[in-house]
């Protein structure tokens, strides 16, 4: 079988494989199949990586940890419409408290509503503690790096929309209360 041509016109080389032409992954060079080299495949022009550490893993780019100074509450440019009924023994800035509460992205809409409803029953130290927690949250989120800004913007927008829903709900309750009061006055004036 030495130096015979097969049906495709390829020339086979003598080998140590008993007449079976050796291959290197089925590749052929110029129509001829390469000769076996004792189990080491012949290359076909492709570069083999050097043995013994020739490949160095690429270091990942260092993360920019510069604080983005993201400000919670920046969407509340039109102010806060909800009014609190504070406990008579407490003294705090209602507007600041409500802005911090509205801006919080760690509380759900339901939790914010519970706090609004609970304010008339809270003691001064509880109000002070809530203010401290909200201010700390605001500070921590402002210190996050720029890579977190898109996610923070998305969360801030969702919480802004949730707060607007709370305001609309409170307006409806207020209107219903006013209508009920007017109805009661009419009944009273009619002697009913």
What would the pLDDT profile of 130-145 be if each residue is shown by its tens digit?
999 999 998 888 888 7
Cβ 87 vs Cβ 119: under 8 Å: yes
Q: How confident is the model at residue 12 (pLDDT cuts 50, 70, 90)?
A: very low
User: What pLDDT was estimated at residue 61?
Assistant: 63
Residue 75 has pLDDT above 70, yes or no: yes
Cβ burial of 155 (10 Å; 0-12, 13-18, 19+) is middle
Answer yes or no: pTM beyond 0.85. no
Mean pLDDT of 27-55: 54
User: What pLDDT was estimated at residue 122?
Assistant: 92
CB atoms within 10 A of CB 93: 10
Residue 147 has pLDDT above 80, yes or no: yes
Residue 62 has pLDDT above 80, yes or no: no
Segment 153-177, tens digit of pLDDT: 888 888 888 888 888 888 887 777 7
Give the whole-angstrom CA distance, residue 71 versus residue 110: 23
For residue 156 the two structure tokens come to 């801030």
Chain mean pLDDT for the chain? 74
Give the whole-angstrom CA distance, residue 24 versus residue 35: 9
Residue 191 has pLDDT above 90, yes or no: no
């Amino acid at each position: 079988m030495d130096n015979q041509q097969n049906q495709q016109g390829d020339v086979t080389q003598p080998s140590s494989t008993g007449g079976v032409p050796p291959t290197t992954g089925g590749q052929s060079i110029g129509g001829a199949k390469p000769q076996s080299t004792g189990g080491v495949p012949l290359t076909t022009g492709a570069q083999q990586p050097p043995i013994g550490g020739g490949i160095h893993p690429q270091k990942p780019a260092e993360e920019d940890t510069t604080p983005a100074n993201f400000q919670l509450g920046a969407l509340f440019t039109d102010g806060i419409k909800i009014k609190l009924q504070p406990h008579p023994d407490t003294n705090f800035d209602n507007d600041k408290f409500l802005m911090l509460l509205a801006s919080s992205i760690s509380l759900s809409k339901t939790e914010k509503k519970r706090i609004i409803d609970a304010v008339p029953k809270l003691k001064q130290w509880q109000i002070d503690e809530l203010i401290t927690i909200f201010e700390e949250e605001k500070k921590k989120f402002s210190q996050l790096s720029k890579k977190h800004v898109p996610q923070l913007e998305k969360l801030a927008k969702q919480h802004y929309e949730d707060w607007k829903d709370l305001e609309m709900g409170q307006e409806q309750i207020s209107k219903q209360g006013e209508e009920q009061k007017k109805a009661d006055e009419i009944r009273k004036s009619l002697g009913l």
